[in-house]
C-alpha cells in the first residue's frame, strides 16, 4: 500500500467514501428523480390539455380550398365563362437553398421579375406565390428544372372562351375565384364554389405533410348560370357596332337587343370592350358596363313615348292634325325649332318627321302630371331590375317641379336623363302591346348535378298603355322607316321595321355642345309581330351625326343577320330597286355572317395563354357514360382514346376538368354496374383515390 505520510493527521484513519454521506447523496438522487417524475405527471396529465392545444395550434393546419366556380352559359348552353384546372407555381422560401439562383432560373422559365421573386424567396417564410396559373409548357419547364422548395399545384382558373365577346357584361373573376366585375361579381353568390377545409399536418417550415385525401367536393361547386343572352346575337351586335363606331370615328357605343314578349336580354354589346381573360391589361374604364351605368339625354327617341302617352289618355287621336308653325314654336321666352319645317302633320307623322314642334304641342295637351306619370310607368327614373350592381336611375324630376319649358323640352327628350336599358325596355313595352316586362338576364341557375336551383320566369311589371295605343304608336314608328321618315337606313329587306331615331347634343362646358352628339336608334322588328327590340347608341360620331345615319344602319345590320337566325320569316317582298333608291346598303355584309361560327372552339384550343407550347384541350367528364357517347365526345376533342373493360365509365385519366395535349391519350375504364370499381381500376393500372365513393 501507499507510503505513510509523515504529515498525516493522527485522527484521519479512514480513506474513501463516507457511508453516511453516500446515503445522503443517494437520498438526494432519489428525491430528484421523484421530483422530476411528479413534474412529469403534472405536465402530462394535469396540464395535458394546455400543451395539446398549444402544440396543435402550430402543427395542425387547415387548408382552405374553394370548390370549382360555376360556368356561365348562354341561352343555348354555349359556354361564356368556364373553369379549368391549370398549374400554379408556388414556393416554400424556407426550403429554397439558393434564392437568387432559383429566382434567376424562374425568371427565365416563367418571365417573372427575378428581383421581385428573389426578394420573396429570400424572406425565408413558409409560402409565397411565384406565378399563378401558368401555361402547361411553363409548368413542364418548372417541373423539369426540379428546383428545391418550388412547387406546382393545380388551381382552377377562369376562362372566357369567346374572349372579348360580352366581356364588359360578363366581367371577370380573380385568381382566387371571386367575382370582381360584371355578372361574375353581381351573381357571385350563385357562381362561387363553396369553401371547404382539409385538415393537415404542418411542420415548422410550413410544409404540409399529410392531407386528408381527396374529398368528393362536387356538391360544393358553384352553380351554373344560364343567361338569356344569345352568343351569336351578341357576336353580331358587337361586330356591327364596332364596325360602325370605327366607320363613324366615334368614341364608343352600345347595343341592346331584347325579346319583347319575355324581356329577355339577347345581347348587350358595348364598345370599347375588353377581354376578361386579360382583364388586368384593360383599363378599369373599359370594365364599366355602360348599358346600366351611363346616363344620357334621350333626345328625339323620347317622342314615341310622349305620343304613346297622349294616345293612351284619349286626349289625342292618331289622325289629329297638328300645325307645323313654320318649324318654330315659342314656349315662354324660348323658341323650339325643327330641322325641317313641316306645315301640317297628323299625330303619327310627328314621330315620322321627328318634329319637335309637334311633340311640344302633344306634350302640352297631355299635361305635365299625366306625362310624368306615363314616363314613370314606362320605367324611366327607376332601376330596370336587370340584377346588375350599380345600375343608375337617371334623372326625372317630379312633375310639380316642371315649368312650361321643362314640359316642352322633356317632350323632345332634353331635361331628363335615362339609361340605355330604360330606353330599350320602354320601347319593348310598346312592342309588347303596352305591357312593360322586367328585363331578364339570367334565366336559370343550375347546380353541378344539373338540378335547377332557381328559375326566373318572365315577369310583367305593369301595363303602361292600352294595346290600341301601342298599335297606333307602332304605326307611327313604322312610318319612320318609310319614305319621308328619318330612319330609312334602318330598313331590313323582307321585314317591316318600326323605330325612332334620336340625336342628342351632349352637354359640354357652358351648355350643349354643337359638335358632340349621341346618335341613337330605338326600334323593333317585325313591326306587326315584334321579335326583336333594339336600342343602338353611338357616342360622338364624327363622320355623321343624325341617328338615322349613324345608329339606324347598325340596327339594320344586326336585324339582317339575326332575324333569319331566329327563324323569323320575311313577310315583305324585297324590292332591291326601292331599297337602292332609299339609299340602303343592299349588299349583305358577308363578313358579319362569316364571323359567326356557333361551333367555334374556345380560343385557347389554338392559342394557349403563352405564345408557344402545345395547345390544350379540356378533358370532359365521362364518368357514368356509355361507350358510344364517350367515343363521340373524345373524337370531337381529337385526342386518342384507350378503352378498357365494358359497361359504363367508372374511371378516367386525366381527370375531368384538367387540360391535356390534343395529341395526348385519354384512358377510360368501364365497368358493368355492380362491379367493384377498385378491381377494375387496379386491373387497368389507374389511380383510385382512397375513400372516394363507388358509383
**Residue 106 vs residues 26, 146, 517: alpha-carbon distances, Å:** 65, 11, 52
Residue 25 in the binding site for other proteins (CB under 8 A)? yes
Stretch that binds other proteins, among 56-64, 321-329, 657-665, 666-674 (CB under 8 A): 56-64
The count of residues interacting with other proteins (CB under 8 A) is 49
CB of 123 to other proteins, least distance (A): 16
Cα 189 off chain centre by? 13
Tell me, what DSSP letter sits at residue 302?
Answer: G
CB of 33 to other proteins, least distance (A): 5
Residue 12 in the binding site for other proteins (CB under 8 A)? yes
Residue 59 in the binding site for other proteins (CB under 8 A)? yes
Respond yes or no: is residue 411 known to be catalytic. no
Residue 201 in the binding site for other proteins (CB under 8 A)? yes
Residue 576 in the binding site for other proteins (CB under 8 A)? no
Residue 8 in the binding site for other proteins (CB under 8 A)? yes
Stretch that binds other proteins, among 196-204, 215-223, 312-320, 596-604 (CB under 8 A): 196-204
Binding mask 203-242 for other proteins (x = CB under 8 A): xxx---x---------------------------------
Q: Give the C-alpha separation, 84 to 142, whole Å.
A: 20
CB of 18 to other proteins, least distance (A): 5
Report yes or no: 147 and 106 within 8 Å, Cβ to Cβ: yes
Stretch that binds other proteins, among 30-38, 220-228, 437-445, 510-518 (CB under 8 A): 30-38
Report yes or no: 500 and 354 within 8 Å, Cβ to Cβ: yes
CB of 164 to other proteins, least distance (A): 49
Nearer to other proteins by Cβ, of 14 and 612: the residue is 14
* CA-based nearest residue to 474, from 439, 505, 433: 433
3-state SS, residue 348: helix
CB of 30 to other proteins, least distance (A): 7
Residue 577 in the binding site for other proteins (CB under 8 A)? no
**Residue 50 vs residues 41, 45, 54, 60: alpha-carbon distances, Å:** 14, 10, 6, 15
Nearer to other proteins by Cβ, of 32 and 607: the residue is 32
Nearer to other proteins by Cβ, of 20 and 673: the residue is 20
CB of 88 to other proteins, least distance (A): 24
Stretch that binds other proteins, among 50-58, 105-113, 246-254, 586-594 (CB under 8 A): 50-58
Report yes or no: 441 and 458 within 8 Å, Cβ to Cβ: no
Residue 199 in the binding site for other proteins (CB under 8 A)? no
In the list 50, 515, 572, 689, the residue contacting other proteins (rule: CB under 8 A) is 50
CB of 57 to other proteins, least distance (A): 9
In the list 17, 457, 673, 674, the residue contacting other proteins (rule: CB under 8 A) is 17
CB atoms within 10 A of CB 197: 12
Report yes or no: 649 and 625 within 8 Å, Cβ to Cβ: yes
CB of 27 to other proteins, least distance (A): 11
In the list 5, 146, 280, 283, the residue contacting other proteins (rule: CB under 8 A) is 5
Nearer to other proteins by Cβ, of 208 and 346: the residue is 208
CB of 21 to other proteins, least distance (A): 5
Residue 145 in the binding site for other proteins (CB under 8 A)? no
* CA-based nearest residue to 86, from 172, 175, 165, 174: 175
3-state SS, residue 184: helix
> Using H for helix, E for strand and C for coil, what is the string for 504-517?
EEEEECCEEEEEEE
Q: Which three cell numbers stand for residue 599?
A: 361551333
Catalytic residue among 221, 300, 354, 411: 300
CB of 293 to other proteins, least distance (A): 50
Residue 451 in the binding site for other proteins (CB under 8 A)? no
In the list 14, 594, 687, 690, the residue contacting other proteins (rule: CB under 8 A) is 14
Q: Which three cell numbers stand for residue 486?
A: 328619318
Residue 202 in the binding site for other proteins (CB under 8 A)? yes
CB of 63 to other proteins, least distance (A): 16
Residue 2 in the binding site for other proteins (CB under 8 A)? yes
DSSP conformation letters of 427-452: HHHHHTTTEEEPPBSEEEEE-TTS-E
Q: Give the C-alpha separation, 470 to 429, whole Å.
A: 8
**Residue 376 vs residues 369, 398, 556: alpha-carbon distances, Å:** 11, 10, 30
Gyration radius (Cα) of the chain, Å: 37
Nearer to other proteins by Cβ, of 8 and 397: the residue is 8
Q: Which three cell numbers stand for residue 59?
A: 402543427
Residue 48 in the binding site for other proteins (CB under 8 A)? yes
Q: Give the C-alpha separation, 179 to 188, whole Å.
A: 5
3-state SS, residue 489: helix
3-state SS, residue 34: helix
Report yes or no: 172 and 286 within 8 Å, Cβ to Cβ: no
Q: Say which residue the cell 420573396 belongs to.
A: 120
Nearer to other proteins by Cβ, of 56 and 467: the residue is 56
In the list 27, 33, 646, 662, the residue contacting other proteins (rule: CB under 8 A) is 33
CB of 438 to other proteins, least distance (A): 58
Residue 9 in the binding site for other proteins (CB under 8 A)? yes
Residue 21 in the binding site for other proteins (CB under 8 A)? yes
Nearer to other proteins by Cβ, of 203 and 663: the residue is 203
Report yes or no: 67 and 215 within 8 Å, Cβ to Cβ: no
Report yes or no: 426 and 379 within 8 Å, Cβ to Cβ: yes
Residue 127 in the binding site for other proteins (CB under 8 A)? no
Name 522's bridge partners: 500, 535
Stretch that binds other proteins, among 23-31, 353-361, 655-663, 677-685 (CB under 8 A): 23-31
Residue 148 in the binding site for other proteins (CB under 8 A)? no
Indicate the pairing of strand 252-259 with strand 328-331: unpaired
Nearer to other proteins by Cβ, of 25 and 607: the residue is 25
3-state SS, residue 171: coil
Sort 505 into a burial class: Cβ within 10 Å, 0-12 / 13-18 / 19+.
middle
For 366-434, where are the E strands, in sequence order? none
**Residues annotated as part of the active site:** 300
The contact set with other proteins (CB under 8 A) reads 1-5, 7-9, 12, 14-22, 25-26, 29-30, 32-33, 35-37, 39-41, 43-45, 47-48, 50-52, 54-56, 58-59, 201-205, 209
Amino acid at each position: 500500500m501507499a507510503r505513510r505520510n509523515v504529515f498525516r493527521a493522527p485522527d484521519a484513519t479512514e480513506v474513501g467514501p463516507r457511508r453516511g454521506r453516500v446515503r445522503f447523496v443517494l437520498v438526494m438522487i432519489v428525491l430528484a428523480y421523484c421530483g422530476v417524475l411528479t413534474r412529469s405527471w403534472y405536465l402530462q396529465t394535469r396540464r395535458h390539455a394546455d400543451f395539446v392545444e398549444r402544440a396543435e395550434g402550430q402543427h395542425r393546419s387547415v387548408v382552405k380550398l374553394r370548390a370549382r366556380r360555376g360556368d356561365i352559359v348562354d341561352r343555348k348552353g354555349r359556354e361564356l365563362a368556364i373553369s379549368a384546372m391549370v398549374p400554379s407555381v408556388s414556393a416554400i422560401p424556407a426550403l429554397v437553398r439558393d434564392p437568387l439562383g432559383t429566382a434567376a432560373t424562374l425568371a427565365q422559365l416563367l418571365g417573372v421579375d427575378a428581383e421581385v421573386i428573389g426578394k420573396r424567396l429570400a424572406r425565408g417564410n413558409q409560402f409565397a406565390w411565384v406565378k399563378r396559373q401558368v401555361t402547361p409548357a411553363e409548368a413542364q419547364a418548372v417541373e423539369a428544372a426540379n428546383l428545391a422548395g418550388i412547387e406546382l399545384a393545380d388551381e382552377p382558373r377562369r376562362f372566357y372562351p369567346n374572349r372579348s365577346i360580352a366581356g364588359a357584361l360578363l366581367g371577370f373573376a380573380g385568381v382566387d375565384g371571386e367575382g370582381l366585375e360584371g355578372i361574375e361579381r353581381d351573381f357571385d353568390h350563385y357562381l362561387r364554389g363553396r369553401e371547404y377545409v382539409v385538415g393537415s399536418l404542418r411542420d415548422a417550415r410550413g410544409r404540409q405533410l399529410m392531407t386528408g385525401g381527396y374529398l368528393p367536393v362536387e356538391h360544393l361547386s358553384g352553380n351554373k348560370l344560364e343567361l338569356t343572352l344569345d352568343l351569336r346575337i351578341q357576336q353580331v351586335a358587337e361586330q356591327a357596332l364596332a364596325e360602325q363606331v370605327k366607320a363613324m370615328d366615334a368614341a364608343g357605343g352600345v347595343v341592346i337587343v331584347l325579346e319583347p314578349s319575355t324581356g329577355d336580354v339577347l345581347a348587350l354589346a358595348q364598345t370599347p370592350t375588353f377581354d376578361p381573360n386579360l382583364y388586368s391589361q384593360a383599363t378599369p374604364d373599359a370594365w364599366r358596363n355602360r348599358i346600366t351605368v351611363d346616363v344620357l339625354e334621350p333626345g328625339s327617341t323620347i317622342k314615341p313615348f310622349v305620343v304613346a302617352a297622349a294616345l293612351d289618355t284619349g286626349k289625342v287621336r292618331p289622325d289629329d292634325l297638328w300645325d307645323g308653325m313654320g318649324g318654330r314654336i315659342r314656349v315662354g321666352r324660348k323658341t323650339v325649332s325643327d330641322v325641317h319645317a313641316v306645315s301640317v302633320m297628323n299625330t303619327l307623322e310627328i314621330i315620322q318627321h321627328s318634329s319637335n314642334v309637334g311633340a311640344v304641342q302633344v306634350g302640352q295637351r297631355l299635361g305635365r302630371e299625366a306625362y310624368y306619370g306615363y314616363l314613370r310607368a314606362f320605367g324611366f327614373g327607376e332601376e330596370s331590375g336587370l340584377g346588375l350592381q350599380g345600375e343608375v336611375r337617371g334623372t326625372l324630376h317630379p312633375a310639380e317641379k316642371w315649368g312650361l319649358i321643362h314640359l316642352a323640352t322633356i317632350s323632345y327628350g332634353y331635361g331628363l336623363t335615362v339609361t340605355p336599358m330604360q330606353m330599350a325596355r320602354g320601347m319593348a313595352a310598346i312592342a309588347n302591346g303596352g305591357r312593360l316586362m322586367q328585363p331578364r338576364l339570367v334565366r336559370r341557375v343550375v347546380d353541378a348535378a344539373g338540378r335547377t336551383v332557381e328559375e326566373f320566369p318572365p315577369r310583367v311589371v305593369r301595363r303602361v298603355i292600352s294595346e290600341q295605343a301601342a298599335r297606333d304608336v307602332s304605326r307611327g314608328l313604322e312610318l319612320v322607316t318609310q319614305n319621308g321618315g328619318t330612319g330609312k337606313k334602318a330598313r331590313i329587306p323582307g321585314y317591316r321595321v318600326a323605330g325612332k331615331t334620336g340625336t342628342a347634343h351632349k352637354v359640354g362646358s357652358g351648355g350643349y355642345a354643337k359638335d358632340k352628339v349621341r346618335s341613337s336608334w330605338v326600334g323593333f322588328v317585325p313591326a306587326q309581330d315584334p321579335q326583336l327590340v333594339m336600342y343602338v347608341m353611338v357616342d360622338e360620331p364624327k363622320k355623321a351625326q343624325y341617328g338615322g345615319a349613324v345608329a339606324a344602319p347598325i340596327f339594320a345590320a344586326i336585324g339582317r343577320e339575326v332575324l333569319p337566325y331566329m327563324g323569323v320569316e320575311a313577310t315583305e317582298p324585297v324590292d332591291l330597286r326601292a331599297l337602292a333608291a332609299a339609299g340602303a346598303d343592299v349588299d349583305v355584309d358577308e363578313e358579319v355572317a362569316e364571323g359567326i361560327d356557333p361551333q367555334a372552339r374556345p380560343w385557347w384550343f389554338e392559342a394557349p395563354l403563352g405564345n408557344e407550347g402545345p395547345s390544350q384541350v379540356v378533358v370532359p367528364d365521362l364518368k357514368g357514360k356509355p361507350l358510344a357517347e364517350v367515343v363521340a365526345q373524345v373524337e370531337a376533342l381529337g385526342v386518342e382514346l384507350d378503352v378498357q373493360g365494358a359497361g359504363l365509365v367508372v374511371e378516367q385519366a386525366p381527370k375531368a376538368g384538367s387540360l391535356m395535349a390534343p395529341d395526348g391519350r385519354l384512358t377510360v375504364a368501364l365497368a358493368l354496374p355492380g362491379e367493384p370499381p377498385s378491381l377494375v381500376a387496379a386491373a387497368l393500372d389507374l389511380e383510385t383515390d382512397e375513400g372516394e365513393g363507388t358509383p
